Amino acid sequence: MASITIPYAVADFIEMRERGFYYVDKTQYIAKLEDYKAPVFLRPRRFGKSLLVSTLACYYDRTKAHRFEELFGDTWIGTHPTKEHNRYMIIRYDFSAMVMSDHIQGLAQNFNDLNCGPVEVMVAHNRDLFGDFEFSNRGDASKMLEEVLTYARSHELPKVYILIDEYDNFTNQLLTAYNDPLYEEVTTNDSFLRTFFKVIKKVLVKVVSVLVFVQVCCLSLWMI
């Protein structure tokens, strides 16, 4: 009798498929998600959100088109692919890795340290389209994102698909630590976090498809 491995805490779709782990196919929902411009998922921990983020990144990433049959061939979406598959440039953020601080300057620095990388990775993966493009605002996550989205629009590149996993993670940590003043500072006026989402909102219609995943306890949707 063939044995199967039931994975625990595996959130990487490619690893799941390459290692032959037991996989419950829910890819039929990908087609349904395309009916929404910026869906927000409210689900508790260990509910498969990060795995779905990884799955969507693989499905829509233009640089993974050559692996479509390998990764999705025996899934529902593999036999019923949408027109959108492998047509986007992917930027994938994960706010769960945000390092906390007890002041706004420290949080801003930690946010930039974490979130400059995903934009650089996207450009590197799509260098065939970006040519000799170079960032002029390294170290500032919002400005780097704005630069790359503006470049994509002005050069009529494929759309950018932005995936954000656990965008409420560190703000919830502030709430649970009863640090209400710092939470208010982060989530109001022209804070680094609001500036980041304003960049996305400004170009949302023409350039970006956005998928945001949050924990069930998050009620604040002021960002989008």
pLDDT tens string 33-75: 888 776 666 666 667 788 888 999 999 999 999 999 999 999 9
Residues in a beta bridge with 93: 164
pLDDT tens string 106-162: 999 999 999 999 999 999 999 999 999 999 999 999 999 999 999 999 999 999 998
Distance between CA atoms of residues 153 and 160, nearest Å: 10
Whether 204 and 210 have beta carbons less than 8 Å apart is answered as yes
Residue 86's region, left for phi above 0, alpha for psi from -120 to 50, else beta, is: left
- Annotated domain spans of the chain: 13-215
- Catalogue the E-assigned strands of 87-182: 89-94, 160-165
Q: Is the pLDDT of residue 185 over 60?
A: yes
Distance between CA atoms of residues 213 and 206, nearest Å: 22
Q: Structure pTM?
A: 0.87
pLDDT class for 93, splitting at 50, 70, 90? Answer: very high
pLDDT class for 178, splitting at 50, 70, 90? Answer: confident
